[in-house]
Each structure stands twice: as C-alpha cells, then as structure tokens.
Amino acid sequence: MAVSSPSAMDRPAVERRAALPPGFQAGAVAAGIKASGRPDVALILATSGPAAAAAVFTPNAFAAAPVRLSRSNLAVTSDDPRGGFGFASAVVSTSGCANAATGAAGDRDQAEVGRMVAEALGVDELRVLHLSTGIIGARLPLDRVAVGIDAVAQNLRDDDAALEATAEALRTTDSVTKIATTSIALPAEDGEPMPVTVTGIAKGVGMIHPNMATMLSVILTDAPVAPEVLWDLLRPAAARTWNQLSVDGDTSTNDTVFVLASGVAGTAPIAAGSGAAVTLGAAIEAVARDLARQQAADGEGATILITAIATEAVDDIDARAVARAVVSSSLVKAAAHGKDPNWGRIAGAVGNAVTASAAVLEAAGLAPDVAATRGGRPATIDPDRLRVSIAGHPVFDGAQGGPLTFDRAAARAAMDAPELVIELDLGLGDGTGEAFGCDLTEAYVIENSEYTT
Amino acid sequence: MAVSSPSAMDRPAVERRAALPPGFQAGAVAAGIKASGRPDVALILATSGPAAAAAVFTPNAFAAAPVRLSRSNLAVTSDDPRGGFGFASAVVSTSGCANAATGAAGDRDQAEVGRMVAEALGVDELRVLHLSTGIIGARLPLDRVAVGIDAVAQNLRDDDAALEATAEALRTTDSVTKIATTSIALPAEDGEPMPVTVTGIAKGVGMIHPNMATMLSVILTDAPVAPEVLWDLLRPAAARTWNQLSVDGDTSTNDTVFVLASGVAGTAPIAAGSGAAVTLGAAIEAVARDLARQQAADGEGATILITAIATEAVDDIDARAVARAVVSSSLVKAAAHGKDPNWGRIAGAVGNAVTASAAVLEAAGLAPDVAATRGGRPATIDPDRLRVSIAGHPVFDGAQGGPLTFDRAAARAAMDAPELVIELDLGLGDGTGEAFGCDLTEAYVIENSEYTT
C-alpha cells in the first residue's frame, strides 16, 4: 500500500467504450430472474485457458454465497488460503437475486450454478467465479438460471457489443451502463512496445460506501501477469478508488471486483515491482477510478457527482480519510443538492473524520469502544491551517481566522454543474487523496422507502 | 465502563416535565440572535455556591469556542487537565449562532460572554460553563447577548416554568422542547431515605450521531456528589444513550452535556462505587436515555423513532455496535419510512457493523488504514445464529436457513406506529445494547438542502 497515487498527469486516458481485450468472449441474456424482463444472466469466458485472476470482496460479515464460493475457488486454484487470487476460466453473473442470507441452501444453489457453467462451457467448476446482485434472502430460480446459462453459452462472442451486453446485464437500479477502457504499451520479449487493453465494466448505485457495497465490477486485460502480482496491483488501486466511493454509507453482502488477465497480448511476463507492473497498475487504477466516478454520479436519486480532493495532509491515509468524511456527510450531500456553498458543514465533516488524540477522546468522555468506532487511527488536523474551496471558490482559511468573504451568488452558480469539486488543503504535509460521492435528494428517499424486500 | 446497563426493570421511571431541583435558578429571553425572535439566551445559576460539574464534549476536531472554554474552565476549577469535571456556578446558553470555526476572535467573544455572565450574576467567570448552537462561522452578536444576559439575570426564578423556558431557549430546529425528570431516594447521614431530583433538558435534531452532535443537554440534580464521581457516572451513561443515538451520521462542533449537582438535597455525600452512586448513575442514565429518545424521534424530517435492541452478543460493546449500525443505515431508515419489513437491509447493516476477522479483511483486499476506519475493534457475528424481529414479527433466523415466512401485511401494519422496535438476537453470549434513530424522509432532504449557511 506504499505505492503512491498516480497524479492526474500520469494517469492513463480512459474512454467509456466496451473494448473487449483479446482472450475473452462474453454474452448475456434475459432469463427471467428480473421481473422487468431485462438482461440478467451474463458470462465471460477466458478462451485461451484459465486466466490469472484477482479479487477484492465485501468485508460484510454476511458475505453472500457467490462471494464465499468465489473466494473458495480462488483459494483452491492458487493454494493461497486468503482467496484473493488464483485462476479463472469463466465469470458468471446473475442479477435480480443476490443469493445473500440464504444459508446453506444458498451455498448449494450457487455451487449448482458453477456446475451449470462448467458443463455449458466445458471448464472446471473450480475455475468459475461468481457475481450476483439483487434482492437479499430470495433463493435463486435455478431453472431459469440454467436456461439462461445455456442460452448465453451458445452465443458467446468476442466483439465489443458482447461485453456491452454483459455490462448491461449487471445492472439493477443503475440508470446507465458503466464501462471504461484504456490502452497501454508494454514491452514484448524483445523490448518493443506492444498494445495492451484494460477494460472494466461495473454496476452499482445505492448502498455504496468505502469498502465496497452492492457494487460489482469485472476488469479484463490481455496482459500476461501472475495472479499474485495482479492482486498486488488491484488492492491499492481499489483502496484509492472504490474504497473512496460513498453513496449512502451502507455496504452490501455481494460486493466484488474481479480482474482477469488472459495473457495473450504477446508482451513479456510482468514481474512484481517492474516498470510494466507499475504501468499495468496505473491502467487498472485509472479504469477503476473512472468506474467509481460513474457509480457515484449514478447514485440512487443523485443529480451530481461530488469529488473531494484533500492535499497537504500528513500522509495519503489521512488525506483519504478526510476526503471520505466529506463525501459521506449527509449534511454536505444535502447542501450540495441545494447548491448551498456551506463551508461550515464541510469543516464539520473534516473535524468528524479525525479523532484528534486519545487525550481529546478521553476528555470528550468517550468510552474506548466508542472511540474505536470513530476510526482506529487518529488523523491529524489543524483547524487553523485548513483551507477549503467549493467549486473553485475559496470559502475558508483557518490561518485568516476561518470563513472568507466570497461571492455567494457566483459560488452557487458554479455549484450548478454535473460535478462539484470540494478542495481541502490541510496545510500539514504532502499527503493527497480523493473521494467520490453524490448529492442526497428526495428521490433517494422515495426510491428506497418504496423498494420491496 | 464495566458497569453493566440497567435492565428496563431496574430503570427509574421518567416523566417529561421540568422539575427544577433545589439549589438552582433558571431563565431565558429572546435577545435577537435568532432571526425568528424566539428565545435564544438562557442562564442557569447554582444558588448555593459552585456546583459539582461534569461534562462530555464533541470529539470533533473543530470543537467550537464554547466547548474549548468550558473544558478549560473545568480543568482550572478541578486541577485535572482533562477538563471533564470541576465546579460551576452558572451555565450560559446562546442559540442561533454556534460560535464555531470563528478562530481566535471567537474565543475572545466567548470569554467576553463569560465575563458578562460573571458580572451579571456575581460569580467567578472561571465557574461559568458555555453552550451554543446555531450557524457555524458567524460571530456572536455580543451587544445583543449582553442585553439578553442582563435581562435573564434580573429575572431568574426557581420554579419549573423557568427551567422549561430555558429548555425552550436551547431549541433551534427542534419541533418540541425536550425535558425529562426522575426522582430517587438516597440515604441521609442517618440512613433515612430522602428524595433527590434528577432533571435534564436537551436540544438536538439533525447532525446527531454516536459520539454526540449538535446536541446540547444540561442535567441538574440536588444530590451531593464530588465532581470526579459525577464524571464517572456520566460517561458510561452517555456511552449507552447519547452515543447510541444517530440521526444522520454527522457530528457537530458544539455537542455538550453538562451535569451539575447542587448538593443541597440533605443526603449523605455520595462515595464512588457506593450503592447511592449506582442509584444516582441509573437516574442520570434514565434521564439521558429518555432525552436521547426524544431527540431521535424529533430528528430532522423524522416521522418515527427507531429503536434497535441487540441481545446475546459476545459483550455489551458488540451489542451496542450492532444496534448502532442498524439505526445508522440509510437503507434501513428509508425502509422504516416506507413501512417495509426489509430484514435484508437489517442483516446487511449488522454485517457491516462487524468485520469478521483480520483474515476476511485481508481477503477483501482492504488496506490496513481502510480496515481501521471500519472500527478498530472487530466484533463477532455468526450469520447462522442471528435472529431478527421487526415490530414484534420474527423475520429472520439464521439457524433455520435465514428468512422466515411471516405475515407481511401484519408486519407492515405493526410498523405504522410512532416507534419501530428492531430486535437483534446474536445468539453468542450475554451482551446487550440498544440504539436510537429515526426514519429518513423526503423532508430531511428538503430541510437540509435549503438551510442557509
């Protein structure tokens, strides 16, 4: 996790199109899991043998059956008990039913899905990875899933439209399909640069918060890389992107990100710590970041993307904590919705992100367990050094006594845009971090008070 | 913090009336800080010399000027640098202006308020405690505050209506005045039981979350008790009540609870660890709990109180963490608003409260810093043992495979009440805990997107 975040200048350019990397086929179908009749079963097949695979999963104690089975399969194929990396021949996704909180029966159902996929595609069921999303507590309709898997398996294609259909089938309440791709150059064995593609698809709105939540993503690349190296690239990338994303503070039982590398690009194998590994890691992070931003912008009921950028923190960890606190604040989110340049709520959220010291906690009368829930690692902040800008307008400078005089009408006008950038300069060091969120709207409440279990 | 929570049977009965304990006078006036013209300056005077005082304060790094000054004054009067207890002759409250994020100028203003109170009441300015709430970043209108303090000082009274006026003056967006009182019997020097009163007033809606937030309270008693003993009673009571209260996840810069003990009841001095101390602690906790429940029910835009009760946790700390997670979940809050018996969201929130183990976190790809923000102390949960009831209807039993068949229409009907009780039986030990919250409504969003900085 010591890898520092690439600056915006170093970040590979990302396009929002479904460039399917070589070595994969994909497809999707409407199998009737969703009452809406929209696509709900999808497959991705590694066509040149098992792909290197790495994953990050929800930390929710109620990890759903697909999460448990995927972790178990990765552990078996890598002999690493952590279940974070291994080999995978296929990914199956069902949407409309999460297969979460379904107990042992749900585990058996998910294993049956694995066998269906293995049979339909001619692969080892231990090399099938599983994604699902949708209603919690309902059993998978295995008969429909079976018909769907057979139908998709017979129509897998290796064109971009097939990947777009897969992304479409991941969706639940998403209003748009989320896709991002980038192309990088990696050296062949002879040192000549060759193109490598990194493309990600994702779903997710609502229940999204730091540490993943009802959020699924698959990133595919044709780079040749060992599973454990891939995992070591994925984790810091996820920590700086998806774990900095908050829609409503809830996390879910099914969150999963898979990265699969087919290895057919023809470039040299990527060694841990090499320049090629750094390049591939930056590409994965750029794709993850763009998907996370698409997810934040499409939060349930959201009308704008909120980006908080923290600079001059003691370190990157502090910077990320402060940025997360700001995009997670219900009051900041509501103010953003109302185009209110409310620096007071931002300052309050910054102060809430950090527990100044054990002495302060003690003086606050906090029991040790309560202090722990505020975040185990106290971050450092000095109210007299904090500077805050909202949509480009400096509104607060601790060194100048706090609130600044600013043109409120102009700030409000600048906030009337698809993205609101809140800048937080802590004035303490060289740590940087960003976080992504969305405004809190009446529509969020309406959507979530009427959604059926 | 090892004191276990009193069960409902042991809890002293609480009434919602402003019984002013002997040894205090109170009063309030509209001084024009609030644009609305409602009461906004209040005083409480200890009439028999400095009262023993204890406090808990916001842990927000942007602690406002009144918090800093109160902590400093308590430290001076007790010679204890933590600033949690000491002696106080008066409490002053200004509402409409928080005097937060106002820098050194704000500190000077608050000190001036202390001098005004000291002069008007003839007390030591170091023995004045300060409360304020309202707009952040604005300077106190000292001229109006001065006029208000003089007016109140000349009209202090020792009747219940005076305390009710004080409670009224604490309010900002509160829709109701929050008051709770209980009467206990404590032994006189000769062992005969004598009546002692414990009465609290409070304000607070919005920005309320575990660890206090824009939430003020003063509890008054005529019990004779040393400041440090009082502090040791207040902290666990606050941990089980106000720190288990969540309205919207934000915490504020001004949160403060004061307990003042005039000591004029005529009962024997209360020794640490004595039966009398336990009785007084239970009374303070009962009053705090009732005030916290009033605050939750009056959360911004709220239409119902949500109470989560966790039982059979490994310990009380786990139980409180689980209960807090449930009442803090935006999805649970929205479901409560929609009268949706959505046990899936409750299970998700429970799972989110607890991070099963370091191994699971590692497999989830979480960086150590991210893992820390999930709560430094991993709690224990077994999805196969969890049982959940919503409004008295059992809806989930892990041992029976998860979701139960239940009468959805009857559950929805039972949810259509002023209080929703969610019961969580973890099946692991004998730890218990509760937490208080409210539903998330369109009105919350409207109120907070239109509030002016």
What pLDDT digit, counting tens, does each position of B292-304 carry? 999 988 887 789 9
- The H or E element containing residue B261 is strand B256-261
Within an 8 Å CB–CB cutoff, is residue A436 touching chain B? no
Residues of chain B contacting A356 with CB distance shorter than 8 Å: 59, 61
Exposed, middle or buried by CB within 10 Å (0-12, 13-18, 19+), for A136? buried
- pLDDT over threshold 60, residue B222: yes
Within an 8 Å CB–CB cutoff, is residue A22 touching chain B? no
pLDDT recorded at residue B368: 38
Q: Do B239 and A373 touch (CB under 8 A)?
A: no
Has the ipTM of the complex gone over 0.85?
no
Residue A214 annotated in active site: yes
Chains A and B form CB pairs within 8 A to the count of: 349
Please name the residues between 126 and 145 in chain A that touch chain B, using a CB distance below 8 Å: 135-138
Q: Which of B239, B330, B381 sits opposite A367 (nearest CB)?
A: B239
- pLDDT over threshold 60, residue B423: yes
pLDDT recorded at residue A9: 58
More confident residue, A325 or B119: B119
Residue positions counted in chain B: 453
Question: Partners of B96 in the beta sheet?
Answer: B134
The mean-pLDDT minimum among A7-11, B36-40, B62-66, B442-446 falls in A7-11
Q: Which of B71, B328, B449 sits opposite A334 (nearest CB)?
A: B449
B92/chain A closest Cα distance in angstroms: 20
B129/chain A closest Cα distance in angstroms: 15
Q: Which of B211, B250, B448 sits opposite A370 (nearest CB)?
A: B211
CA neighbours within 13 Å on the CB side: how many for A363?
24
pLDDT recorded at residue B250: 57
The whole-number average pLDDT for the span B140-152 is: 98
pLDDT recorded at residue A382: 87
Task: Give the residue from B60, B73, B382 with the most A CB atoms within 10 Å of its CB, the best one to mutate.
Answer: B60
| Residue in A with minimal Cα distance to B231 | A365
Nearest to A229 by CA among A255, A190, A268, A199: A268
Alpha helices in B122-213 (DSSP H): 142-153, 160-170
Q: Which of A351, A355, A450 sits opposite B253 (nearest CB)?
A: A351
For residue A102, CA distances in Å to B99, B313, B347, B383, B422 come to: 52, 22, 11, 10, 20
Q: Which of B56, B321, B453 sits opposite A344 (nearest CB)?
A: B453
Question: Annotated catalytic sites of B, by residue?
Answer: 214
Q: Scan for tokens 């690439």, then name that residue.
A: A6
Within an 8 Å CB–CB cutoff, is residue A364 touching chain B? yes
Helix axes B275-297, B227-240, angle to 10 degrees: 40
In the structure, what pLDDT confidence band is assigned to residue B8 with cuts at 50, 70 and 90? Answer: low
Within an 8 Å CB–CB cutoff, is residue A378 touching chain B? no
- pLDDT over threshold 90, residue B314: no
A64/chain B closest Cα distance in angstroms: 10
Within an 8 Å CB–CB cutoff, is residue B444 touching chain A? yes
Q: Which of A253, A328, A444 sits opposite B351 (nearest CB)?
A: A253
Within an 8 Å CB–CB cutoff, is residue A304 touching chain B? no
In the structure, what pLDDT confidence band is assigned to residue B251 with cuts at 50, 70 and 90? Answer: low
Q: Do B369 and A320 touch (CB under 8 A)?
A: yes
Question: B192: how many CB neighbours lie within 10 A of its CB?
Answer: 9
The whole-number average pLDDT for the span B254-261 is: 94
Please name the residues between 60 and 89 in chain A that touch chain B, using a CB distance below 8 Å: 60-63, 71, 82-84
Beta-sheet pairing, B178-187 with B193-203? antiparallel
Residues of chain A contacting B356 with CB distance shorter than 8 Å: 59, 61
How far the first Cα of chain B sits from its last, in Å, is 38
Q: Which of B137, B345, B448 sits opposite A402 (nearest CB)?
A: B137
Within an 8 Å CB–CB cutoff, is residue A441 touching chain B? yes
Residue positions counted in chain A: 453
Q: Do A250 and B329 touch (CB under 8 A)?
A: yes
B216/chain A closest Cα distance in angstroms: 14
Q: Do A351 and B60 touch (CB under 8 A)?
A: yes
pLDDT recorded at residue A447: 67
Within an 8 Å CB–CB cutoff, is residue B55 touching chain A? yes
Q: Do A383 and B61 touch (CB under 8 A)?
A: yes
In the structure, what pLDDT confidence band is assigned to residue B354 with cuts at 50, 70 and 90? Answer: low
**Structure tokens of B448?**
């907070």
pLDDT recorded at residue B210: 39
Task: Give the residue from B330, B337, B380 with the most A CB atoms within 10 Å of its CB, the best one to mutate.
Answer: B330
More confident residue, B85 or B82: B85
3-class SS at B428? Answer: coil
- DSSP letters, A346-372, are HHHHHHHH----HHHHHHTT--HHHHH
Task: Write the single-letter amino acid at B215.
Answer: M
Exposed, middle or buried by CB within 10 Å (0-12, 13-18, 19+), for B362? middle
pTM above 0.90, yes or no: no
* Residue pLDDT, tens place only, A271-300: 999 999 999 999 999 999 999 999 988 887
d(CA A350, CA A310): 10
**Structure tokens of A84?**
């974070």
The whole-number average pLDDT for the span B394-410 is: 92
The whole-number average pLDDT for the span B75-95 is: 94
Please name the residues between 192 and 221 in chain A that touch chain B, using a CB distance below 8 Å: 206-207, 210-212
Within an 8 Å CB–CB cutoff, is residue B405 touching chain A? no
In the structure, what pLDDT confidence band is assigned to residue B247 with cuts at 50, 70 and 90? Answer: low
A397/chain B closest Cα distance in angstroms: 10
Q: Do B348 and A231 touch (CB under 8 A)?
A: no
Within an 8 Å CB–CB cutoff, is residue A299 touching chain B? no
Within an 8 Å CB–CB cutoff, is residue A394 touching chain B? no
Which residue in A177, A181, A182, A214 is the catalytic one?
A214
Within an 8 Å CB–CB cutoff, is residue A49 touching chain B? no
Please name the residues between 147 and 186 in chain B that touch chain A, using a CB distance below 8 Å: none
| Residue in B with minimal Cα distance to A373 | B375
For residue A236, CA distances in Å to A197, A244, A255, A278, B367 come to: 20, 11, 17, 12, 7
* pLDDT < 70 stretches in chain A: 1-9, 205-214, 247-252, 354-379, 447-453
Within an 8 Å CB–CB cutoff, is residue B239 touching chain A? yes
Residues of chain A contacting B58 with CB distance shorter than 8 Å: 364
pLDDT recorded at residue B9: 57
| Residue in B with minimal Cα distance to A209 | B352
Within an 8 Å CB–CB cutoff, is residue A320 touching chain B? yes
For residue B64, CA distances in Å to A11, B105, B254 come to: 40, 12, 5
More confident residue, B123 or A367: B123
| Residue in B with minimal Cα distance to A84 | B363
- pLDDT over threshold 60, residue B367: no
Within an 8 Å CB–CB cutoff, is residue A190 touching chain B? no
Q: Do A105 and B401 touch (CB under 8 A)?
A: yes
Nearest to B441 by CA among B300, B326, B294, B296: B300
Within an 8 Å CB–CB cutoff, is residue B345 touching chain A? yes
A208/chain B closest Cα distance in angstroms: 11
pLDDT recorded at residue A62: 81
B214/chain A closest Cα distance in angstroms: 10
Q: Do B348 and A253 touch (CB under 8 A)?
A: yes
The whole-number average pLDDT for the span B312-325 is: 87
In the structure, what pLDDT confidence band is assigned to residue B130 with cuts at 50, 70 and 90? Answer: very high
More confident residue, B108 or A82: B108
